C-alpha cells in the first residue's frame, strides 16, 4: 500500500509572528519557515506504518512556492521515498489544495492519505475533510491512534467528550492530532540520501485547478495582550479574590 502525505510550508512554530504595519497580513520576510508540525506527525505515522510492513511507499506532496521543495526534502530526510511539488505562488486555500490532491490521488492511487488536521498558519482545519468529500472516501479526523487491519483502518479520534474509535474502509483519509506520535529527527544518513530521492514538479494546471483565492483578507490584527496574572499565597486568599474581586463565587 502506498501512503500519500501532503506537507505544507508554514512559518516556524518558534517564530514570534508579527503583523505587518498595514494590517494586510503577517510579516514573512526573512522569517524561518518549516514543515507544518501536524504534517511532521503525518510523515512520522506513514513511516512507522512502512517500517511495520503495513505500507510499501511513502510519497510526500506539497502545494506551494519553489521553496516548498525544502519542506519536501525534510520529509525525504525523515525517510519518505519521493516527493511531488505542485508549484504555485498563490496563497493556497483549502478547497484548491483539496482539488489538486484529488488529482494526485487519482494518479498515484494511494491506499491512505494522512494529512495534518490543520496548518498552523491559517488554522483552517478543512483540507482533509474536503478531500474526503471530493473523493467520496471515508475519513478519520484528529487521529491519536491509527491501526491498519485487513482492508480497514481503525482511527482513534480526539473528540470533545474523550476518545472515539471509528473503523474505516480503505482507501481512506486520516488527519493527525498532536498526540498521535512524536516525529523523529532526520538522521544524518537520511539527510545525505534525501538529495538523491526524486521530486516531481507539477502545476495546478496539470490538474485543471484554478488556485485564485476566493477569500479576501480584510485586516489582520494582533490579539489583545493579556494582563499579567497575580500569584496568591494561599487557598483562602484565592477564594477571597474569586469572591470579592472576580465576583465568580
Partner 1 sequence: MHFGLSEEQEMIVTTVRSFVENEIYPHEQLVEKTGEVPVELGQEIKQKCIDLGFYACNFPEEVGGAGLSHLDFALVERELGRGSMALTHFFGRPQNILMACKGDQRERYLLPAVRGEKMDALAMTEPDAGSDVRGMKCTAVRDGGDWVISGSKHFISGADHADFFIVFVATGVDETPKGPKKRITCFLVDRGTPGFEVRDGYNSVSHRGYKNCILYFDGCRLSDDQVLGEVDGGFEVMNEWLYATRITVAAMSVGRARRCFDHAVNYAAERKQFGQAIAKFQGISFQIADMITEIDAADWLTQVGAWRLDQGLPANREIASAKVYASEMLARVTDATLQIHGGMGLMDDFPIERFWRDARVERIWDGTSEIQRHIISREIFRPLGA
**Interface residues with partner 1 (CB under 8 A)?**
14, 16, 34, 70, 73-74, 77, 185-192, 194-195
The grid coordinates of residue 121 equal 498558519
Least separation in angstroms between residue 38's CB and partner 1 is: 16
Cβ atoms of residues 112 and 1 within 8 Å: yes
Give 59 or 78: the residue with its C-beta nearer to partner 1: 78
Least separation in angstroms between residue 230's CB and partner 1 is: 19
Provide the 3-class DSSP secondary structure of residue 222.
Answer: coil
Cβ atoms of residues 220 and 112 within 8 Å: no
* CA proximity to 82, closest of 109, 62, 60, 66: 60
* Residues in CB range of 72: below 8 A, 6 or more apart: 7, 60, 61, 62, 83, 84, 85, 199
Give 14 or 227: the residue with its C-beta nearer to partner 1: 14
In degrees, rounded to 5, the angle at the alpha carbon of residue 113 between the alpha carbons of residues 110 and 116 is 160
Least separation in angstroms between residue 4's CB and partner 1 is: 22
Give 26 or 191: the residue with its C-beta nearer to partner 1: 191
DSSP string, 117-137: S--TTT----HHHHHHHHHT-
Least separation in angstroms between residue 150's CB and partner 1 is: 32
Separation of alpha carbons 98 and 55, rounded Å = 23
DSSP string, 26-42: B--TT--EEE-HHHHHH
Least separation in angstroms between residue 34's CB and partner 1 is: 8
Least separation in angstroms between residue 76's CB and partner 1 is: 9
Amino acid at each position: 500500500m502506498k501512503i500519500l502525505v501532503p506537507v505544507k510550508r508554514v512559518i516556524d512554530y518558534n517564530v514570534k509572528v508579527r503583523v505587518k504595519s498595514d494590517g494586510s497580513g503577517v510579516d514573512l520576510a526573512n522569517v524561518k519557515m518549516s514543515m507544518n508540525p501536524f504534517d511532521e506527525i503525518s510523515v512520522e505515522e506513514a513511516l512507522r506504518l512502512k517500517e511495520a510492513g503495513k505500507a510499501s511507499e511513502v510519497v510526500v506532496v506539497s502545494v506551494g512556492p519553489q521553496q516548498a521543495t525544502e519542506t519536501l526534502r525534510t520529509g525525504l530526510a525523515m525517510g519518505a521515498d519521493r516527493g511531488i511539488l505542485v508549484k504555485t505562488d498563490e496563497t493556497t486555500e483549502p478547497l484548491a489544495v483539496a482539488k489538486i490532491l484529488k488529482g494526485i490521488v487519482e494518479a498515484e492511487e494511494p491506499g491512505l492519505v494522512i494529512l495534518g488536521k490543520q496548518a498552523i498558519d491559517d488554522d483552517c482545519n478543512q483540507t482533509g475533510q474536503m478531500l474526503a468529500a471530493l473523493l467520496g472516501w471515508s475519513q478519520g479526523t484528529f487521529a491519536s491512534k491509527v491501526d491498519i487491519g485487513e482492508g480497514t483502518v481503525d482511527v482513534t479520534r480526539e473528540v470533545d467528550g474523550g476518545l472515539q474509535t471509528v473503523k474505516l474502509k480503505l482507501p481512506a483519509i486520516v488527519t493527525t492530532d498532536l498526540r498521535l506520535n512524536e516525529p523523529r529527527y532526520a538522521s544524518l544518513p537520511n539527510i545525505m540520501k534525501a538529495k538523491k530521492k526524486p521530486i516531481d514538479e507539477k502545476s495546478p494546471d496539470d490538474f485543471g485547478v484554478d488556485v485564485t483565492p476566493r477569500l479576501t483578507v480584510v485586516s489582520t490584527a494582533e490579539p489583545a495582550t493579556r494582563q499579567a496574572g497575580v500569584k496568591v499565597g494561599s487557598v483562602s486568599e484565592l477564594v477571597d479574590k474569586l469572591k470579592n474581586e472576580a465576583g465568580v463565587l
